[in-house]
Amino acid sequence: MQPRDLSAHEAYVPGRGAEEVARELGMDPEELTKLSSNENPHGPSPDAVAAIEDAAPEVHVYPKTSHADLTDALAERWDVTAEQVWVSAGADGALDYLSRAVLEPGDRVLTPDPGFSYYPMSARYHHGEVAEYRLSKADDFAQTPETVLDAYDGERIVYVTTPHNPAGTEMRREDVVELLESVDEDTLVVVDEAYGEYSERPSAVELLDDHDNLAVTRTFSKAFGLAGLRIGYAVVPEAWADAYARVNTPFAASEVACRAALAALDDEAYVETSVETARWARRYYHDELDAPTWPSGGNFVLAEVGDGTAVAEAAKRRGIIVRDTSSFGLPECVRVSCGTREETKRAVEVLNDVLADVEATNP
């Protein structure tokens, strides 16, 4: 007995955790600053922590009411109906729900390269096929309708990430509209806004009233600081919102996650602090890091350092964990998450020392 042929599937490669690296290096985890996974350096909202504690005695109950409460809160925030909000276990879960709802075996999807590896993974799980459009470093990873449409060939789903991971680039509102109006009527454009809170651009959710071939995914993992609870959602057109009941995994979003997300959603001061810290850190990296960085709308920057693997390894041994972007097809770069102000300054100090050492070794 063997599983089906999975040779076309690529495993997701996450950033390594501080405890994992500490064991490898024989260090105390407290000596390490993890800036490799775009997590919120402020931790979760205190209100979310309190909600988690309050929910703990109720985890023997299926999360029916909490799921409905979170759905209603998100619907109110985005001025949509509750049926248009598909709460899921992380935004990854929402991507899976959309694949379940849309794809027939053999249908093609169009994904960005470089990009989030779960787009093609989700499609292949549902027996879809994958095509790619290239975001070029030479063009500063510009996301334009032409970039997507030049590769488009009637795919059933087209994925756009804005802000984009790992480059941080964004697609303008008018460009999203052009894309929506240029693809076939039975093509779904999925706009992934996992880092949307950090962006100064309006959300594509506001386009749903006029476009029934759009879905937007969001997460509580980043600006809301709940990555460990796996909670996210999609917002979909009203016309086909009832598909959710037929594709969602029963009770996939846990009681604790739903209650924490509700509390985090209401803690506006916490989110404002998280966003402002990230925007400060992006500017600091741009101004102080001795390597070129691309303008970013997320809570990270992509830096061109020459040999990304060597720089990431050297920085790790000095206590700073950054993301080697070789898995994105960018071996000459590293991605550095926005830390607290202290963590960001320390990261720049360490990375500049590493870059100086590399230059001295390879003049």
Question: Is 80 exceeded by the pLDDT of residue 222?
Answer: yes
pLDDT at residue 254 in the model: 96
- What is the rounded average pLDDT of the residues 178-189? 97
- What is the rounded average pLDDT of the residues 267-272? 97
Element (H, E) at 51: helix 46-55
Q: Which two tokens stand for residue 43?
A: 């931790």
Element (H, E) at 337: strand 333-337
pLDDT at residue 363 in the model: 62
Question: Is 80 exceeded by the pLDDT of residue 361?
Answer: no
pLDDT at residue 12 in the model: 75
Is 179 or 14 the better-scoring residue by pLDDT?
179
- 30 CB-side CA count, 13 A: 0
Asked if residue 144 lies in contact with residue 175, where contact means CB atoms within 8 angstroms, the answer is yes
Question: How far is the C-alpha of 111 from the C-alpha of 130, rounded, in Å?
Answer: 7
Question: How far is the C-alpha of 305 from the C-alpha of 351, rounded, in Å?
Answer: 9
Question: Is 90 exceeded by the pLDDT of residue 350?
Answer: yes
Give per-residue pLDDT as tens, 123-177.
Answer: 999 999 999 999 999 999 999 999 999 999 999 999 999 999 999 999 999 999 9
Please state at what angle helix 90-102 crosses helix 118-125, rounded to 10 degrees.
Answer: 40
pLDDT at residue 267 in the model: 97
- Arithmetic mean of pLDDT over the chain: 94
Name residue, tokens 């097809």: 329
pLDDT at residue 357 in the model: 84
- What is the rounded average pLDDT of the residues 107-124? 95
Query: What pTM, to 2 d.p., does this model score?
Result: 0.94
pLDDT > 70 in the chain, percent? 99
- CA 205 → CA 86, 163, 315, distances in Å? 13, 14, 39
pLDDT at residue 294 in the model: 97
Question: Is 70 exceeded by the pLDDT of residue 2?
Answer: yes
